[in-house]
């Protein structure tokens, strides 16, 4: 797919200096910058579109967005997954208004053009009005995305024909992702459906909050923590044994104490469950990863997916203009878990990080006000401070990525905006720098790297 805007105006470096640690506020509210993001980032990145578990059978589908482009994700009779635009080639109407379900056909409401679950045009209302010369059905299906690929249950799609494979896109971040996706035999599934809510904020505020902002938790969520924890506030973090790790704009901030997020979920049975499988997890993923899992942690996959490993909320920030996004949240669990544990986790997630949850309720207001206050013509030119922990980078034998010591840090946020800048400025995706040089190139399974490798 040719993205004709690329190459027009590569002056985005004026909006930040990440070595100094500042950002220009206009990237959070400017309409033109937002429009460029849709072309340069959302139309070229690998974007999360579904979890395999949402589409178990042929004919199962769901509707979602890639950037602001509406798409249908559908399971094919041969077991593969196709992703195509949710827009009729005739007049452009949406062909599917359901969130999800099972079907044989998508039929456009306007003139009855009917497409199979692979997106191919199968028939039209009053077909006799078309002469043979008028239409080639093969060429008038629903527009397919350029590439679809999966990683351990997560399904991604991209409109970019060139650029890295999904494995290369995730790169060394797979070492971290596997703590969420592969901490137990059988993998994961999303359960309990999807909650959608609208927040009047720039999409990047959601992503950067999860990619590294452990710092906000103790203050923003003070009320939530005290109500869950007999009036006690968050304990101070261990700045020596907690980290930020950034890989090409993806990021994971974490402690190594193993229980913080599990505790916040507020479900003792779930805590017990993980303690029971932790020795196996250590065999599976190595000692280090078994200690990270369950700690106070949060993570984002570039550009717009986030999750809390241990708390099990999984979410996507869908851009809807510079000052609005739609938040979609799911619950992610291990398939191998017994039903009562899955049920406990679902309840725990809704009570903490659902839209009615004791933690979630505090966030939206902040992001919204961070965004809308930049309408001020003077305010929008003021720099924002992103310098926390700027000198704390370390080399770590075990942990891949650009690693900083101390969980209270802006390092992953800086890594995210660096990738944002790389993509906004790159004419060709293949020319984008690797940050950092990958360690796991050629490694198809991070379990084969048992937590330790020589530098």
Q: Give catalytic residue positions.
A: 111, 213, 216, 221, 363
Preceding amide of 303 cis, omega within 30: yes
Q: Quick one: which of 246, 239, 250, 183 has its CA closest to 214?
A: 239
Contacts of 6 (CB under 8 A, 6+ apart): 39, 40, 427
Question: For other proteins, which is the closer residue by CB, 183 or 346?
Answer: 346
- Token pair 């578990």 is found at 53
Which residue, 241 or 366, has its beta carbon nearer to other proteins?
Answer: 366
Q: Is 17 or 340 the residue whose CB approaches other proteins more closely?
A: 340
Interface pick for other proteins out of 248, 304, 358, 407 (rule CB under 8 A): 358
Count CB-CB contacts under 10 A for residue 7: 11
For residue 328, the cross-strand partners are 196, 316
If binding means CB under 8 A, how many residues of this protein chain bind other proteins? Answer: 55
Q: Does 76 bind other proteins (CB under 8 A)?
A: no
Q: Which of 345, 370, 402, 449 binds other proteins (CB under 8 A)?
A: 345
Among 172, 182, 257, 363, binds other proteins (CB under 8 A): 363
Site string for other proteins, 203-242 (x = CB under 8 A): -----------------x-xxx-xxx--x-----------
Q: How far is the C-alpha of 349 from the C-alpha of 330, rounded, in Å?
A: 9
Q: Which of 245, 250, 66, 244 has its CA nearest to residue 171?
A: 250
Taking the C-alpha atoms of residue 19 and residue 403, their distance in angstroms, rounded to an integer, is: 15
Residue 368 binds to other proteins (criterion: CB under 8 A): yes
Interface with other proteins includes 184 (CB under 8 A)?
no
| SS3 label, residue 179 | helix
Assess 351 for contact with other proteins (CB under 8 A): yes
Task: Check binding of 370 to other proteins (CB under 8 A).
Answer: no
Q: Between 172 and 344, whose beta carbon lies closer to other proteins?
A: 344
Q: Indicate which single residue of 24, 60, 172, 208 sits in contact with other proteins (rule: CB under 8 A).
A: 60
What does the alpha-carbon distance between residue 71 and residue 62 come to, in Å, rounded to a whole number? 9
SS3 track for 280-341: HHHHHHCHHHHHHCCCCEEEEECCCEEECCCCCEEEEEEECCCCCEEEEEEEEEECCCCHHH
Site membership for other proteins, residue 93 (CB under 8 A): no
Which of 29, 39, 24 is closest to 323 using CA atoms?
A: 29
Q: At what angle do helices 360-372 and 203-212 cross, to 10 degrees?
A: 130
Q: With binding defined as CB under 8 A, does residue 100 bind other proteins?
A: yes
End-to-end CA distance of the chain: 39
Of 193, 211, 209, 200, which Cα lies nearest the Cα of 326?
200
Told to check if 165 binds other proteins by CB under 8 A, we report no
Q: Is 431 exposed, middle or buried (0-12, 13-18, 19+ CB in 10 A)?
A: exposed
Residue 366 or 393: which CB sits closer to other proteins? 366
- One residue of 9, 20, 32, 99 binding other proteins per CB under 8 A: 99
Q: Of the two residues 168 and 198, which places its CB atom closer to other proteins in the complex?
A: 198
State in angstroms the smallest separation of the CB of 193 from other proteins: 4
Q: Is 193 in the site for other proteins (CB under 8 A)?
A: yes
Smallest distance from the beta carbon of 318 to other proteins, in angstroms? 10
Q: How many C-beta neighbours within 10 Å does residue 290 have?
A: 22
Region from 179-187, 298-306, 338-346, 399-407 binding other proteins, contact rule CB under 8 A:
338-346
Interacting span for other proteins (CB under 8 A) from 19-27, 116-124, 238-246, 360-368: 360-368
Per CB under 8 A, residues contacting other proteins are: 57, 60, 97-103, 191-201, 220, 222-224, 226-228, 231, 326-327, 331, 333, 339, 342-343, 345-347, 350-351, 354-356, 358, 360-369, 372
């Amino acid at each position: 797919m040719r993205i004709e805007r690329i190459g027009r105006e590569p002056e985005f470096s004026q909006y930040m200096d990440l070595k100094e640690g500042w950002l220009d506020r206009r990237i959070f509210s400017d309409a033109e910058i937002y429009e460029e993001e849709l072309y340069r980032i959302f139309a070229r990145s690998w974007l999360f579109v579904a979890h395999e578990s949402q589409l178990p059978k042929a004919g199962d589908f769901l509707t979602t967005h890639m950037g602001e482009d509406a798409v249908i994700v559908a399971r094919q009779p041969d077991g593969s997954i196709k992703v195509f635009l949710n827009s009729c080639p005739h007049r452009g109407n949406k062909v599917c208004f359901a969130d999800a379900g099972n079907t044989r056909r998508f039929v456009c409401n306007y003139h009855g053009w009917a497409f199979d679950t692979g997106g191919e045009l199968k028939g039209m209302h009053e077909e006799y009005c078309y002469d043979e010369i008028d239409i080639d059905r093969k060429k008038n299906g629903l527009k397919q995305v350029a590439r679809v690929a999966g990683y351990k249950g997560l399904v991604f799609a991209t409109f970019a024909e060139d650029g890295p494979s999904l494995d290369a896109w995730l790169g060394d971040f797979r070492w971290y992702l596997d703590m969420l996706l592969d901490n137990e035999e059988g993998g994961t599934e999303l359960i309990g459906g999807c909650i959608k809510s609208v927040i009047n904020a720039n999409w990047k505020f959601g992503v950067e909050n999860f990619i590294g902002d452990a710092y906000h938790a103790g203050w923003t969520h003070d009320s939530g923590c005290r109500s869950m924890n007999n009036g006690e506030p968050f304990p101070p973090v261990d700045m020596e044994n907690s980290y930020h790790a950034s890989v090409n704009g993806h990021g994971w901030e974490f402690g190594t104490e193993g229980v913080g997020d599990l505790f916040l979920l507020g479900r003792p049975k779930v805590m017990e469950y993980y303690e029971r499988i932790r020795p196996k997890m250590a065999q599976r993923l190595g000692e280090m990863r078994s200690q990270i899992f369950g700690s106070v942690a949060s993570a984002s996959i570039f550009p717009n997916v986030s999750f809390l490993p241990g708390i099990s909320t999984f979410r996507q920030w869908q851009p809807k203009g510079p000052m609005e996004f739609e938040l979609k949240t799911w619950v992610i669990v291990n398939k191998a878990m017994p039903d009562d544990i899955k049920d406990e986790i679902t309840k725990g997630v809704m009570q903490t990080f659902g839209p009615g949850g004791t933690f979630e309720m505090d966030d939206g207001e902040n992001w919204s006000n961070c965004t809308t206050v930049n309408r001020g013509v003077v305010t929008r030119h003021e720099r924002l401070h992103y310098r926390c922990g700027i000198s704390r980078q370390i080399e770590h034998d075990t942990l891949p990525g650009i690693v900083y010591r101390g969980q209270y840090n802006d390092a992953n946020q800086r890594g995210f905006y660096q990738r944002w800048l790389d993509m906004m400025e790159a004419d060709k995706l293949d020319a984008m720098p690797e940050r950092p040089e990958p360690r796991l190139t050629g490694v198809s399974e991070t379990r084969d790297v048992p937590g330790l490798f020589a530098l």
